[in-house]
Structure 1
Amino acid sequence: MITSAETVGTLVSLIFVFPFAETKGRKWAIIYLGALLTVVSALCQLSSAYLQASELFILSQFFAGVHHPLRTFLTFLFITECAPDKNREQILILFEKEKNLTTESHITLRQVWENDTLRQGLKVVLAYLFVVNLSTTNIRATYYVTLHESVGFTVQEALNINLILSILFFPTQFASTIMIDSLGRRPVMLIANVLLFTMSCLMLATQFLAYFFGPSLLTKVLYVILDCIGESTTATGIMSLRILFITELFPPSARTAVSQAVLFIGMAINSLLMATFPIVYSIFPPGFFAPFVVTKLVFGFYLYRHMPETKGRAVCDIIEDMDEDVMSRTASIFEEYTPLIKSRVNPIFSH
């Protein structure tokens, strides 16, 4: 009965809904109508569970069947028509390659780690996390006034500096996407890491001078320079690299697990820093910032060595290159009983 409801919905869609792609347009049918059908189907399923009504569940399957042709055939059609004439075949091939990169439709984080190729991508993402999160950025934002007072500024002066720098550097926030697209991922990461390393060194220097010699004009000047570098760092677009790494270094089947891990690790690092800062800072302020200098060197060097350039490249090509690079090295201590990366795509789409 349930399967029949979905089949009936598909037939109804082909006869009555599919023509809307011609009269209303592809975008209207795929995005607007498709979203509406998805919401209605989900609401029917939730209602069936709450009211214990099988009729509502069958109705949800009917709407899912109506949506099926829209999210399958029409989506491919829309992608094909959006692409230039000379690139349509290539777009379809790349789309199918990305979808069929792995042998499984859903990959867990453990499977990602046990696979040599995906583990390499995960290491790059983790190194990026340690570079960005193990820095002075969040501490400076949370304890902005406290840190400014430690180098000799008053509360009002600290607030004035924040206002002035926010106004001056506001236009640079629009440069982040331009830098990523024009320079590429590796140059942006290199520039941002140099800026973060400089910030860590300046923070360590100002806290060292303020702790041993007291606040002075020098500590104020150094800290204003540090603030300017901090504003410039966000303009590089480094914060956008996290989502780009996940979408470009991993197949669709692994992105959910990797995203969950990245969010959890980022929250854990930030929570640890926020919890330990008041304790360590009250004992020896420079001691809290010293490790940040080391992490920028270690993880920055790792990214310089192993981070691939993904600008303008298809996901399937990036992962295939990573797979070849990993396979050319010595065997991993983790044995892959069931390889996750397919050696080739569906023959239908290969030349």
Structure 2
Amino acid sequence: MTQPQNPETYNRMNIRIIGICVAAALGGFLFGFDTAVINGAVDAMTETFDLTPALKGFAVSSALLGCATGAWFAGPLANRLGRVPVMLIAAGLFLASSIGSGLAFGVTDLIIWRVIGGLGVGAASVIAPAYIAEVSPARIRGRLASLQQLAIVTGIFAALLSDAFLANVAGGSMEELWFGQQAWRWMFIAEAIPAIVYGVAAMRLPESPRFLVAKGRIAEATKVLQVYTGVIDVRDRIAAIERSLQADHRMSLKDLRGSRYGLKPVVWVGILLSVFQQFVGINVIFYYSTTLWRSVGFDEGDALTITVITSITNIVVTIIAIALVDRIGRRPLLLVGSAGMFLSLSTMAIAFSNATLVVNVDGTTSADLQGFWATTALIAANAFVVFFGVSWGPVVWVLLGEIFPNFIRAGALAVAAAAQWLANFAISTSFPTFSEIGLTFAYGFYAFFALLSFLFVYTKVPETKGRELEDMTDDMRVKQA
């Protein structure tokens, strides 16, 4: 059995493992930044390129098509090249997208550059949780895996704060800022800075020990486990990894197949976790919240400020989730989150049913909330963010890094992440149309899926708190035997 080192060495190992997990989670920061930066730019972009509601929805969510593609191919690519090289590729894609989007000549090339950035986002969404799960000791894996979500929400906050700052400096997102470029264009270009930081940080990361064992690089894997996990004798751990990876050399998407609806049950659990995370409508808040709050009476500056406050709330509750996930477990957090989201989304639907429809100059309609119902909608929206941020936001990423056995993890994560991005695309693209039907319909739709998510977790999602990845792999093999 492996034995822990003395307390001083143990603490040093904890600092090291936290350090490399924070560096890996920077991909989540860019993930959040890239997906949220559109929030402050969407109205100016719509005006600049004279977009219809349908085209606006597609322009906003087009990056998600790249995300799905990047997620799909990231797993096989990571198995071939390693986790760290894929992080470097993602950083390069982020950098290219930020500059290209900011200098776009029209909506067509803007969409192309957003899709390129989406490839990086999708790759990061697969690699970061896989890498963190593979280097983390079981006793703190939940908290370390939650760093991915903390990085995502911090990236969202940074993007929204950057948007608000640039719009305020210029006097509006449509106004010129530096070098003759409008403020909304600088919102995209600002992403170049974290993209470069992510690339530099990734260069300093050790490779995943499980990838190294799979490639027969035992000495390197031993060094990583000794330096970063704080155990003296790693032979048992190496042997456990070798057992769990015994079929990895021939792993393909065929290994995900099962007798129920074509896939293994655990793969379906991962897919449905991903879909429910998006179908509750969380990204509507972060993609369209500025537009939403302007539609109910706030000016652009106040709407951006509200969105930034909502993002800060998301960061705070994610930190709370990190403190709780290894104490009370994954399932309790998800169940509480689902119940809270159902109640808050239902409240938003009721609030908007009391809105007055206003016909805009361009012929479109928007909701006008006043007094009590405006306050109720604002409180309910932030309550929704709280319940999501303390549960489905971080915990889904934790589970996606844990529930899949080692011999199918990369492929299964790719499929689950691709499903998540396609679900995100469907929700984000449909919101402008949903809002034309009515915000009561939109938030009622999301509330319905919050209720379904509760039933799904209660009946299908396993608890993984405190279990080594290799133990779960062995359990999976027994079930398949």
Question: Following TM superposition, by how much is the alpha carbon of 1:134 offset from its aligned partner in structure 2, in angstroms?
Answer: 0.5
SS in 2 for 1:310: coil
SS in 1 for 2:280: coil
Aligned residue in 2 for 1:336: none
Q: Does 1:308 align with 2:462?
A: yes
Residues 72, 84 of structure 1: CA spacing in aligned structure 2 closer, same or farther, 3 A cutoff? Answer: closer
Question: Following TM superposition, by how much is the alpha carbon of 1:132 offset from its aligned partner in structure 2, in angstroms?
Answer: 0.9
CA distance in structure 2 between the partners assigned to 1:71 and 1:265 by the alignment: 33
Residues 77, 144 of structure 1: CA spacing in aligned structure 2 closer, same or farther, 3 A cutoff? Answer: closer
Aligned residue in 2 for 1:189: 334
Q: Does 1:176 align with 2:330?
A: no
Aligned residue in 2 for 1:112: 256
Aligned residue in 2 for 1:132: 277
Equivalent pair of 1:99/1:252 in contact (CA under 8 Å):
yes
Please list, as runs of the form range in 1=range in 2, the aligned pairs for 1:252-267 lying within 5 A after superposition: 252-267=406-421
Aligned residue in 2 for 1:75: 221
Aligned residue in 1 for 2:349: 204
Residues 251, 300 of structure 1: CA spacing in aligned structure 2 closer, same or farther, 3 A cutoff? Answer: same
Equivalent pair of 2:339/2:451 in contact (CA under 8 Å):
no
Aligned residue in 1 for 2:287: 142
CA distance in structure 2 between the partners assigned to 1:215 and 1:124 by the alignment: 39
Please list, as runs of the form range in 1=range in 2, the aligned pairs for 1:75-94 lying within 5 A after superposition: 75-76=221-222, 79=225, 83-84=230-231, 91-94=237-240
Equivalent pair of 2:276/2:450 in contact (CA under 8 Å):
yes
Equivalent pair of 1:108/1:257 in contact (CA under 8 Å):
yes
Question: Following TM superposition, by how much is the alpha carbon of 1:90 offset from its aligned partner in structure 2, in angstroms?
Answer: 5.3
Deviates more, 1:110-119 or 1:258-267: 110-119
Residues 234, 135 of structure 1: CA spacing in aligned structure 2 closer, same or farther, 3 A cutoff? Answer: closer
Residues 70, 93 of structure 1: CA spacing in aligned structure 2 closer, same or farther, 3 A cutoff? Answer: closer
The letter of the residue matching 1:76 is: T
Aligned residue in 1 for 2:245: 99
CA distance in structure 1 between the partners assigned to 2:314 and 2:449 by the alignment: 27
Residues 104, 71 of structure 1: CA spacing in aligned structure 2 closer, same or farther, 3 A cutoff? Answer: closer
The letter of the residue matching 2:373 is: T
Please list, as runs of the form range in 1=range in 2, the aligned pairs for 1:1-351 lying within 5 A after superposition: 71-76=217-222, 79=225, 83-84=230-231, 91-100=237-246, 103=247, 105-114=249-258, 119-167=264-312, 170-211=315-356, 215-233=369-387, 235-236=389-390, 238-321=392-475, 341=480, 343=481
Residues 163, 218 of structure 1: CA spacing in aligned structure 2 closer, same or farther, 3 A cutoff? Answer: same
- The sequence identity of aligned pairs, in percent, is 19
CA distance in structure 1 between the partners assigned to 2:275 and 2:295 by the alignment: 26
The letter of the residue matching 2:404 is: F
Gaps of 5+ in 2: 1-15, 21-80, 86-211, 358-366
The letter of the residue matching 1:210 is: A
Equivalent pair of 1:165/1:231 in contact (CA under 8 Å):
yes
RMSD of aligned alpha carbons: 3.7
Equivalent pair of 1:127/1:303 in contact (CA under 8 Å):
no
Residues 287, 165 of structure 1: CA spacing in aligned structure 2 closer, same or farther, 3 A cutoff? Answer: closer
Higher Rg of the two aligned structures? 1
Question: Following TM superposition, by how much is the alpha carbon of 1:119 offset from its aligned partner in structure 2, in angstroms?
Answer: 1.6
Gaps of 5+ in 1: 1-26, 32-37, 43-66, 328-340, 344-351
Superposition TM-score, scaled by structure 1 size: 0.62
Equivalent pair of 2:341/2:388 in contact (CA under 8 Å):
no
CA distance in structure 2 between the partners assigned to 1:303 and 1:157 by the alignment: 37
Residues 269, 169 of structure 1: CA spacing in aligned structure 2 closer, same or farther, 3 A cutoff? Answer: closer
Equivalent pair of 2:271/2:420 in contact (CA under 8 Å):
no
Residues 189, 323 of structure 1: CA spacing in aligned structure 2 closer, same or farther, 3 A cutoff? Answer: farther
Equivalent pair of 2:275/2:419 in contact (CA under 8 Å):
no
Residues 118, 179 of structure 1: CA spacing in aligned structure 2 closer, same or farther, 3 A cutoff? Answer: farther
Residues 88, 252 of structure 1: CA spacing in aligned structure 2 closer, same or farther, 3 A cutoff? Answer: closer
Q: Count how many residue pairs are aligned between Structure 1 and Structure 2.
A: 263
CA distance in structure 1 between the partners assigned to 2:270 and 2:225 by the alignment: 30
Residues 204, 222 of structure 1: CA spacing in aligned structure 2 closer, same or farther, 3 A cutoff? Answer: same
